[in-house]
């Protein structure tokens, strides 16, 4: 396989899918050597079968808003690969959602899920519906209309959705409720459910906490203590807020958070009270991050339209909002101020140019598919609990999460250590994730 030829061919076949091509290119260039050391992979054309999703469902979702107007959105579910377990991955509701974005996410999810050591294939779904500014009833009607189309394609051993951008506990609850009504069964078909109906403790915290655990593993390779380190975070949703909480518990200072309108900057680090306000602002009031600066004007400033990377003074960056939110200039600005680590909470937040900068600078750089795998890992633990019809304590789930993150870190070190001892976590994560899926696909023949 020549990575460049496969990528050119995919570009020709899927010309309007830049995010998908970007994600494939990053993986193929780092697994090329390993792939070519196994001529049997090529005989089975493993590469095309791994890059192109097993199937894509796309459908119209019609619903009625509070004023009685009939609205339509697009809905999708990409079932990418189920070689190592049922299709598994989140659902994203955001106005920017399209097939390219969901294909990139489903592709990434396949490798991420493989890294978790649990039995989960890769999938992603979503809609260009934006929950922003919608009433609870509108969100509920939309979720029901979405599931009315999708419910036949999902199931506890077939395909298990969860949350992602714009989809949290509220949306999962509405989708699960309607799924249960249609399927007439109470099974673990969604993860991220409410605690009262099969949700796992620590699932809301898992992605952010897991990213911090991964960061601790990386820092340990260089004997660096997290205490007192200044961390710039982007986003202020599920991943960003729980990342901030764990960092502060660990004694680090969280100096920034953001949303799609702008960033807040707290040069001395957010206080517990300020972070608590942000949790409520985001989950209860469903407000904007600007309001945190309005509430605490003495300690927090607001920068409209800016991302944290160019101005927040920090030692560590944890981008936790969305794809391609940190570009080459941002990476150079972070490196110029001496950043020691970048650990990605979001999926593919750094552009290829930014990734190149981080790798060339030989800082600790963890790609999302390794660093944010704690979310789906605890989803896997939720599936296990649902199958057993038991629930585990918060301590037990947290201990398993720490253990999984450190095993993912070890896999990255095993497959990504270069001749001079530098750990290329991009290569490590891609090769480790790929090999397990590849072996399973080989064993199962051409299907």
Q: Applying CB under 6 A, does 246 fall inside the site for ligand 2IT?
A: no
Compute the distance between CA of residue 129 and CA of residue 146 in angstroms, rounded to an integer: 10
Q: Is 124 a catalytic residue?
A: yes
Catalytic residue among 112, 124, 193, 229: 124
Which parts of 118-235 fold into alpha helices (H)? 136-150, 169-183, 203-220
For strands 70-81 and 55-64, give the pairing. antiparallel
DSSP readout, 73-121?
Answer: EEEEEEEEE-SSSSEEEEEEE-TT--HHHHHHHHHHHHHHHHHTTSS--
Angle at 103 between CA 101 and CA 107, to 5 degrees: 120
Site membership for ligand NDP, residue 163 (CB under 6 A): yes
Nearer to ligand 2IT, 248 or 346 (CB): 346
Would you say 116 or 238 has its CB closer to ligand NDP? 238
Nearest to 200 by CA among 373, 405, 383: 383
Which residue's CB is nearer to ligand NDP, number 93 or number 358? 93
The two counts, helices (H) then strands (E), for the chain are 17, 12
Please identify the residue of the shown chain whose CB is closest to the bound ligand NDP. 237
Stretch that binds ligand NDP, among 11-19, 235-243, 245-253, 399-407 (CB under 6 A): 235-243
Q: Which stretch binds ligand NDP (CB under 6 A): 11-19, 54-62, 165-173, 330-338?
A: 165-173
Binding map of ligand 2IT across residues 121-150, x = CB under 6 A, - = no contact: ------------------------------
Element at 21 (helix H, strand E): helix 18-36
Among the listed ranges 76-84, 193-201, 243-251, 257-265, the one in contact with ligand NDP (CB under 6 A) is 257-265
| Span from 7-15, 51-59, 136-144, 233-241 in contact with ligand NDP (CB under 6 A) | 233-241
Candidates 85, 86, 89, 126: give the one binding ligand 2IT (CB under 6 A): 89
Residue 26 DSSP SS3: helix
- Partner in contact with 191, chosen from ligand NDP, ligand 2IT, none, beta carbon below 5 to 8 Å by kind: ligand 2IT
Interactions with ligand NDP, residue window 58-97 (CB under 6 A): 94, 96
Q: By CB under 6 A, name the one of 82, 322, 347, 350 that touches ligand 2IT.
A: 347
Helix, strand and coil content of the chain, in percent to the nearest 5, comes to: 50, 15, 35
Of 13-21, 218-226, 230-238, 351-359: span binding ligand NDP (CB under 6 A) = 230-238
Cβ burial of 67 (10 Å; 0-12, 13-18, 19+) is exposed
User: For residues 344-373, which are near ligand NDP according to CB under 6 A?
Assistant: 345-347, 372
- Residue 43 burial (CB < 10 Å; 0-12/13-18/19+)? exposed
Tokens for 137?
């009833």
- One residue of 81, 113, 263, 320 binding ligand NDP per CB under 6 A: 320
Alpha-carbon separation of residue 229 from 235, 273, 316, 340, 403 (angstroms)? 19, 20, 7, 10, 24
**Is 20 or 302 the residue whose CB approaches ligand 2IT more closely?**
20
Stretch 108-127: interaction string toward ligand NDP, x if CB under 6 A: --------------------
- Interaction residues for ligand 2IT, span 356-385 (CB under 6 A): 375-376, 379
User: Which of 191, 243, 217, 237 is CA-nearest to residue 378?
Assistant: 191
Nearest 10 degrees: Cα torsion 376, 201, 135, 155: 50
Should residue 234 be labelled a site residue for ligand 2IT when binding is judged by CB under 6 A? no
Residue from 75, 121, 199, 237 touching ligand NDP (CB under 6 A): that is 237
CB 293 within 8 A of CB 300: yes
Contact positions toward ligand 2IT, by CB under 6 A? Answer: 88-90, 109, 112, 162, 164, 191, 347, 375-376, 379
Q: Kindly list the catalytic residues.
A: 124
């Amino acid at each position: 396989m020549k990575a460049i030829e496969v990528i050119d061919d995919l570009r020709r076949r899927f010309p309007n899918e830049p995010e998908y091509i970007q994600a494939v290119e990053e993986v193929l260039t780092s697994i090329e050597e390993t792939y070519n050391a196994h001529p049997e992979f090529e005989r089975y054309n493993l590469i095309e079968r791994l890059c192109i999703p097993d199937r894509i469902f796309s459908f119209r979702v019609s619903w009625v808003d509070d004023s009685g107007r009939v609205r339509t959105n697009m809905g999708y579910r990409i079932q990418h690969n189920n070689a190592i377990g049922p299709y598994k991955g989140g659902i994203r509701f955001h106005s920017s959602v399209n097939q390219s974005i969901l294909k990139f996410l489903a592709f990434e999810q396949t490798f991420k899920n493989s890294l978790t050591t649990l039995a989960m294939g890769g999938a992603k779904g979503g809609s260009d519906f934006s929950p922003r500014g919608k009433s609870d009833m509108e969100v509920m009607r939309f979720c029901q209309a979405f599931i009315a189309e999708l419910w036949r394609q999902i199931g506890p051993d077939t395909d298990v959705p969860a949350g992602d951008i714009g989809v949290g506990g509220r949306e999962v609850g509405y989708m699960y409720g309607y799924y249960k009504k249609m399927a007439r069964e109470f099974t673990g078909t969604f993860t991220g459910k409410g605690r009262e109906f099969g949700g796992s403790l620590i699932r809301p915290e898992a992605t952010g906490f897991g990213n911090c655990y991964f960061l601790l593993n990386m820092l340990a390779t260089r004997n660096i203590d997290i205490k007192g380190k200044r961390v710039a975070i982007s986003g202020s949703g599920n991943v960003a807020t729980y990342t901030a909480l764990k960092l502060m518990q660990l004694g680090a200072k969280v100096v920034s958070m953001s949303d799609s309108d702008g960033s807040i900057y707290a040069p001395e680090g957010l206080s517990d009270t300020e972070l608590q306000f942000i949790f409520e602002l985001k989950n209860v009031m469903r407000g904007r991050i600007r309001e945190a600066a309005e509430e605490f004007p003495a300690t927090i400033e607001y920068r409209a339209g800016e991302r944290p990377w160019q101005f927040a003074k920090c030692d560590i960056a944890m981008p936790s909002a969305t794809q391609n939110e940190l570009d080459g200039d941002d990476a150079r600005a972070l490196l110029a101020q001496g950043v020691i680590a970048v650990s990605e909470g979001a999926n593919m937040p750094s552009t290829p140019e930014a990734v190149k900068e981080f790798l060339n600078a030989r800082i600790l750089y963890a790609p999302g598919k390794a660093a944010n795998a704690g979310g789906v890992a605890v989803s896997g633990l939720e599936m296990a609990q649902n199958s057993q019809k038991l629930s585990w304590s918060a301590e037990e789930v947290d201990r398993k999460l720490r253990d999984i993150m450190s095993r993912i870190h070890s896999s990255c070190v095993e497959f990504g250590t270069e001749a001079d001892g530098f750990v290329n976590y991009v290569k490590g994560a891609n090769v480790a994730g790929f090999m397990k899926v590849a072996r399973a696909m080989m064993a199962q023949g051409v299907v």
